[in-house]
Amino acid sequence: MRYANGFFMRFIQLVGPFWSSENQSQARLQTALLIVLTVMQMVLAVLITEWSAALFNALEQHSMPGLLKQMALLVLIFVASMAVTFNHLKIKRRLQIDWRAWLTERVTGQWMKEGRHYQVTHIQSAEHDNPDGRIAEDIRIATEEAIALCHSLFYSVLLLVGFTTLLWNLSGTVTLDLGAFEITVQGYLVWLAFIYAVSASFLGWRIGRPLTRATDARQTVEANFRFDLVTARENSQAIALIHGENKQRKHLAWLFDDVVEAYHRQTRAMSHIMLFTSGYSVLSMAFPVLVSAPRYILGMISLGSLMQSVQAFQQMTSALSWPVDNMSGVAQWRASVERVLNLVQALDDLEQELVRQDPYRIIVEKSEQPILRFHQLCIAQIDRVACMSAFNEDIRPGEHVLIDGNTASGAKLFKAVAGLWPWGEGRIELPDDEPMFFMPPRPYLPTGALLDAICYPEDRENVDQAELEQLMTWVGLGELIGQLEREDIWYTWLPREQQQRLGVVRLLLKKPKWILIQESFDSLPPEGEIEMFRLICQQLPEATLITISQQPTAEAFHKRRITL
């Protein structure tokens, strides 16, 4: 899907389908309720100004019955305000989390589709980096802040409509004597409120323009710093073994310098806005009283009308000042939306690139025979620089094939078989209805219970635990059987050797007929690698074994060699 050029059109194209999704009835009902409750908030604001006018009139007249009446009305307004505010908050937050959940599911589904999360990393661009931060944080801001900003904007429009009429009626008619002639002005407080608020909004917009760029820049460098911290944590053992702490610390310090610079840049932009808004807020308290007081002093209006005029003026200028008050929030929201849009656009571009007809693509298709065939295969980098060409091989069921030579090209060969590396030419024919099991150098062990990590991506209910425990004993991990229900971050807690042995357990539980091993035992001693190969051959004697390895111990378990 190609997004429109305008920012708001791109945003609507991305998030608009939420209101026509499977839960459209609930989404539309919540939106309607939110609108109704917002209107009720505006009505209450008008009622409060009416009540305030009546209260000050009663005080000016020293009327005890009038005071008691206003106290009773205050109780009703108080209860209604609490009910409206309570339900408004519940509905708004429910709509926010539902919208965020829908968009998160959509983007995550697109990101995790058929290896796109891996392929998109090879597209050289900074506009889709750190997808984890864009999905976790930027989607949250894009949805939650969108509703908060839309609500406040809608509420401001309602206040503007309601209080403009009220303030116009309270202003009456003022005659300005300019000597030679007189000017009659109707609703002068309305005109003053417009001039006052619009001037302030324009100045605030001009002063706050740099904040959008500063906020986007800060979010980018913060995400880069967070990503490298996570990377350092995941590779802490490797860093410690080679004593790379000083180098890593310098690298993190260099990244944090970017954070500090972006922070100061944002601070400078925010300070200009805060300098303006602080003065504006102080002036807003005094200005309506000063411009309304002459009519009260001249006895043209009552004290209640004066206070009602002040409150109406403040409500109106508050509504007109929405751009000033929400400059920072809009900047942060827009920056987050841009980051989400860029990630989705990168995934869309990748999808279109992979599906369009292009002769410079590796064709992966099912064969009518139980055979893995490579026909005139050329594997290249994304920039079309070939790293392997004219590769023609047939691998039949039950064969044990060792691939050595250029292991980097071998790794891309496996990725091409898996459909993860489409860049190149030629054709790969896969054995029909024969799933392939890929063993990377280190198996993925998700955080959680060890049993769930071993069974991944299957559920534990689909695995015979007695068989699993037997396999763990055979691979030399019997001491971990008692920790199957323990939850931990296993890819950091377990040594790499034990992780690779768990990869064999996962393989033997799966019992595939085609096995592709990519240096999956490089952390094991030679006798350990021999033990793992022997166990695989004994338990899966009919399986086809294709192995990338430079270790001489692997030769004894393979009858055929392909050198890249």
The residues with which 173 forms a beta bridge, in sequence order, are 186
DSSP 110-157: HHTSTTHHHHGGGS--STT--HHHIIIIIHHHHHHHHHHHHHHHHHHH
Amino acid 490: pLDDT? 87
CB 81 within 8 A of CB 44: yes
Q: Which helix (H) or strand (E) holds 203?
A: helix 188-234
Q: DSSP character for 123?
A: S
Can you say whether the dihedral through the CA atoms of 161, 163, 169, 174 is positive or negative?
A: negative
Structure tokens at 209: 């323009």
Fold entry, domain 398-422+433-563: Rossmann fold (3.40.50)
C-alpha span between 24 and 479 (Å, rounded) = 52
Structure tokens at 399: 């064969």
Structure tokens at 525: 């001693």
C-alpha span between 289 and 189 (Å, rounded) = 11
CB 518 within 8 A of CB 438: yes
Q: DSSP character for 423?
A: B
Length of the chain: 564
Q: What is the pLDDT along the chain (564 residues), one digit of tens a residue?
A: 555 567 888 888 888 888 888 888 888 999 999 999 999 998 998 888 888 878 888 887 888 888 888 888 889 989 999 999 999 999 999 999 999 999 999 888 888 887 777 777 766 654 666 787 888 888 999 999 999 999 999 998 898 888 888 878 777 666 666 666 667 767 777 788 778 777 777 777 777 777 777 887 888 888 889 888 888 887 876 788 788 888 889 989 999 999 999 999 889 888 877 887 777 677 777 777 777 777 778 777 777 777 877 778 878 877 887 877 787 788 888 888 888 888 888 887 777 777 766 667 888 888 878 888 888 888 887 777 777 888 888 889 899 999 887 778 888 888 888 888 888 888 888 887 777 899 888 888 888 899 999 988 888 888 888 999 999 999 999 999 999 999 988 888 888 899 999 999 999 999 999 999 988 898 899 899 999 999 999 999 999 999 988 888 888 898 888 887
Q: Which residue has the tokens 């807003």?
A: 284
The residues with which 487 forms a beta bridge, in sequence order, are 449
C-alpha span between 294 and 222 (Å, rounded) = 54
- Domain extent listing, the chain: 7-355, 398-422+433-563
Q: Is cis: bond before 457, omega within 30 of 0?
A: yes
356 class by beta-carbon count within 10 Å (0-12 exposed, 13-18 middle, 19+ buried): exposed
Q: Do domains 7-355 and 398-422+433-563 have the same CATH topology?
A: no
Q: Quote the distance between the C-alpha of residue 22 and its chain's center.
A: 21
Residue closest to 267 by CA, chosen among 221, 218, 316, 311 = 218
The residues with which 518 forms a beta bridge, in sequence order, are 548
The domain 7-355 is placed in CATH, from the list 1.20.1560.10, 2.102.10.10, 3.20.20.70, 1.20.1730.10, at 1.20.1560.10
Q: Quote the distance between the C-alpha of residue 386 and its chain's center.
A: 36
Q: Which residue has the tokens 């026509």?
A: 20
Tell me how far CA of residue 195 lies from CA of 88, 187, 188, 313, in angstroms.
32, 13, 11, 12
Structure tokens at 313: 């003026």
Determine phi and psi for 387, rounding to 5 degrees.
-115, -10
- Please report, as a single letter, which amino acid is at residue 140: R
Residue closest to 290 by CA, chosen among 314, 325, 274, 319 = 314
Q: E strands, 453-542, where?
A: 487-488, 514-518
**Where does residue 111 fall: left (phi above 0), alpha (psi -120 to 50 degrees), or beta otherwise?**
alpha
CB 371 within 8 A of CB 544: no
- Please report, as a single letter, which amino acid is at residue 417: V
Residues contacting 442, CB < 8 A, separation 6+: 491, 496, 499, 500, 503
